Amino acid sequence: MKRITTLVSISLCWLSTAAFGASEVVVTSPQGSVSATVSSSPAGQLTYRVVRGDGAIIENSPLGVTVNDVALGRGVTLGHATRRSLDESYRSFGGVHAMARNHFNSAAIPVTHKKSGMSYVLELRAFDDGIGFRYIVEGQGKRRVSGEDTGFQLPAGCAIWFQTNTANYEGLYNRLTLDDVEQDTHMGPPVVVELPRDQGYAVLTEAALFHYSGMTLKAPGNVSGPLAAAFQDDASWELEGTIRSPWRVVLISPDLDGLVNSDIIHNLNEPPAPALANADWIRPARGFWHWWSGKMGNWDSVAFDRQHAWVDYAAQFGFECYLVDAGWEHTWAKPGKDKWALLKELTAYGAERGVGIVVWKRWKTGRTEGIDMEGLDDAASRRDFFRRCREAGAIAIKIDYMDSESKEMIDFYTDVLKDAARYQLMIDFHGANKPTGEPRTYPHEVTREGIKGLEYNKWSALPAHHYASLPFTRLVAGHGDFTPCTFNPDMLKGTTFALQLATAICYTSPVMFYADKPELYLKMPALDVFKAIPSVWDETRVLAGSAIADLAVLARRKDDRWFVGVINGRSERSYELDLSFLGSGRYAAVQLADDPARPDNLIRRETTVQVGARVPVELNAGGGFVMVLTPLK
């Protein structure tokens, strides 16, 4: 993310505005692999259909947005579409790979609601790995949106992976066939679809969620109906001027590699302003934090006198930051020094050692763990807090407890990002909703939670299949602050050290906070590997054998070095790792494998390998494997 560049290559052409008649508009992706058809039924219902090859991904499904109690998808006529194509490349902000390509054909389709006379535009973009569409209702003054008719009619025989926590998105992903999903179940996107007849996968979600209420998906009242757009945090919301919905996204891929590497969600967001695109204060980072390894409800771990040791550890590991979590504002005080003076003292100490300081903040004024805390919900107070953090030398803010995606809360997220850019502060949203590609526009959003992370092992236990599901479910939507990697035997909860280490490779978070005490990492035979794992990648490949919640095998490259992470979500097994992804030449390989006798141990082996080699791997139940491959000169 440092020194992010602007467009590398771009081509833009406008095509005929009268290529099709008013009854049907077809938009085909650049290589012709995906097409979407928008039409008006004989009854005047606006619908769409998505096809890849000769198989339907989305069957005929309703469209429409309700404005001032008028359902604008019912009783409509279509006008002539305005078409364009775009092909651009840009530095990726997602952390999965270094460069992204935004290549699509699009149509802006005029739609008229006959009874009211209201007109709007349905904009649709077709990519070779999916489609996005949105509603644009021009106008002035205040108007009220009270939902959409948007639906996703999946073909018969599908199964879906989904989670039902639609407040802060901290749910377990489970698999059900469509017929088995209980009526009116609400699902927090992304919803991952296993397509029938070996057609691969689709993902249903939204992109560019700004100035609107967040979309969940509701199971139909009957098994033959579509998944329906729902807005659980708002019965309605008021907007002024032109209404632009977020993009509704159908991502399509024949395999898991395509899901992980898709850029659609980021592509559907606007590029950053030049000042953000090239900002040298936006940097990937790795860091420690004290909360996870401390005692719940106890402020001892945040005591000021203990912070310098954490900074020292971060420097020792070559990490770029350290997170001071909840409690610092209320426990930091010394004679003649308030919390701001002490924060400045800590940031100066960190700067001398190359370690930036991140601080926690509650979003709303209220009580946390029995203490009254001032929040960031008041704009003036928020800007004052950001100013003080900047003057004290902090590099980022972790903001917590939003637990909503109401229109009001979505505006708060955006306001935070705008204000943080002014004060050159990176942002980590916790207690947050799903990502929708925001880092394309605001690259200083460097991670967000919206994920059931390792914190749950403090009071319960994450099942092994959850670890193996995340790269192909929640993390398809964008970065996730999982806070990985415990080396505390008491906190493994059915996993192994090898699995825990593999999550640091398999999970994407441009700023990665490691959960445990540095003293525990220092004891392991994986210390050199642990220090070397980056937080952003030049290239990512999902390897053969991967299956959602069963086995995750990812190879990720940074510069000329490859890191392989394997997460086993099921019972013990043997796996053969194919190194065909390597370039020519020979590589020094460090392997860190499960100890079949002890989950809290790693078996280390160092070898030399080359492209095409096959490495046998024995995996414990809930186990893992890590390999680092460095080319030999």
Q: What secondary structure does DSSP assign to 392-458, as a single string?
A: HT--EEEEE------HHHHHHHHHHHHHHHHTT-EEEE-S-----SHHHH-TTEEEE--S--GGGGG
State whether 303 and 353 are in the same domain: yes
CA distances from 54 to 33, 35, 133 (A): 9, 10, 21
Q: How many CA within 13 A on the CB side of residue 93?
A: 30
Beta bridge partners of 102: 88
The pLDDT of 316-326, averaged and rounded, is 97
Tell how strand 366-368 and strand 371-373 pair up. antiparallel
State whether 383 and 477 are in the same domain: no
In a domain, 277, yes or no: no
pLDDT range class, residue 553, cuts 50, 70, 90: very high
Q: Please, are residues 255 and 476 in contact by the beta-carbon 8 Å criterion?
A: no
Q: Please, are residues 515 and 485 in contact by the beta-carbon 8 Å criterion?
A: yes
State whether 441 and 502 are in the same domain: no
Tokens representing residue 242 in the block? 């032109």
Could you read off the pLDDT of 83-137 as tens digits, one per residue? Answer: 999 999 999 989 999 999 999 999 999 999 999 999 999 999 999 999 999 999 9
Full-model pTM: 0.95
* Residue the block writes with tokens 């992010």: 4
State whether 446 and 481 are in the same domain: no
* Spatial separation of the C-alpha atoms in residues 259 and 282, rounded to whole Å: 26
pLDDT at 223: 67
Range of the domain at 495: 452-511+519-529+536-633
pLDDT range class, residue 15, cuts 50, 70, 90: very low
Surface-to-core class of residue 618, CB atoms within 10 Å of its CB (0-12 exposed, 13-18 middle, 19+ buried): middle
For the chain, give the number of residues.
Answer: 633
* Spatial separation of the C-alpha atoms in residues 317 and 603, rounded to whole Å: 22
State whether 89 and 181 are in the same domain: yes
* Residue the block writes with tokens 């030449």: 585
In a domain, 482, yes or no: yes
State whether 369 and 489 are in the same domain: no
pLDDT at 295: 84
pLDDT range class, residue 376, cuts 50, 70, 90: very high
In a domain, 5, yes or no: no
The pLDDT of 197-207, averaged and rounded, is 97
Residue that is last in its domain, among 450, 469, 491: 450
State whether 59 and 105 are in the same domain: yes
* Spatial separation of the C-alpha atoms in residues 537 and 96, rounded to whole Å: 6
pLDDT range class, residue 450, cuts 50, 70, 90: very high
Is it the case that residue 14 has pLDDT exceeding 80? no
Closest-CA residue to 250 (of 34, 78, 474, 101): 34
Could you read off the pLDDT of 270-308 as tens digits, one per residue? Answer: 999 999 999 999 999 999 999 999 987 778 899 999 999
* Spatial separation of the C-alpha atoms in residues 407 and 360, rounded to whole Å: 24
pLDDT at 10: 37
Surface-to-core class of residue 577, CB atoms within 10 Å of its CB (0-12 exposed, 13-18 middle, 19+ buried): buried
Residue that is last in its domain, among 271, 302, 330: 271
* Spatial separation of the C-alpha atoms in residues 555 and 535, rounded to whole Å: 14
What value does the mean pLDDT of the chain take?
Answer: 95
Q: Quote the distance between the C-alpha of residue 305 and its chain's center.
A: 35
Give the CA radius of gyration of the chain.
Answer: 25
In a domain, 359, yes or no: yes
Number of domains, the chain? 3
Closest-CA residue to 566 (of 627, 632, 482): 627
In a domain, 470, yes or no: yes
Could you read off the pLDDT of 54-66 as tens digits, one per residue? Answer: 899 999 999 999 9
State whether 466 and 369 are in the same domain: no
* Spatial separation of the C-alpha atoms in residues 188 and 405, rounded to whole Å: 11
Closest-CA residue to 190 (of 128, 264, 124): 264
State whether 523 and 577 are in the same domain: yes
In a domain, 4, yes or no: no
- Specify which of 1-5, 41-45, 430-434 reaches the highest per-range mean pLDDT: 430-434
Could you read off the pLDDT of 387-400 as tens digits, one per residue? Answer: 999 999 999 999 99
pLDDT range class, residue 18, cuts 50, 70, 90: very low
State whether 246 and 364 are in the same domain: no
State whether 545 and 623 are in the same domain: yes
In a domain, 418, yes or no: yes
Tokens representing residue 205 in the block? 């979600």
Tokens representing residue 310 in the block? 């954490």
Is it the case that residue 256 has pLDDT exceeding 80? yes
* Spatial separation of the C-alpha atoms in residues 486 and 517, rounded to whole Å: 8
pLDDT at 52: 97
Tokens representing residue 433 in the block? 């909703």
In a domain, 2, yes or no: no
State whether 202 and 122 are in the same domain: yes
Tokens representing residue 440 in the block? 């394309």
What number of other Cβ atoms are within 10 A of residue 12's Cβ? Answer: 9
Residue that is last in its domain, among 271, 293, 312: 271
pLDDT at 297: 72
**CATH classification at residue 116:** 2.70.98.10
**CATH classification at residue 588:** 3.20.20.70
161-186 burial code (b ≥16 CB/10 A, e <16): bbbeebebbbbbbbbeebeebeeeee
Tokens representing residue 549 in the block? 């919640």
Closest-CA residue to 365 (of 357, 379, 376, 354): 376
pLDDT at 550: 98
Tokens representing residue 556 in the block? 């990720």
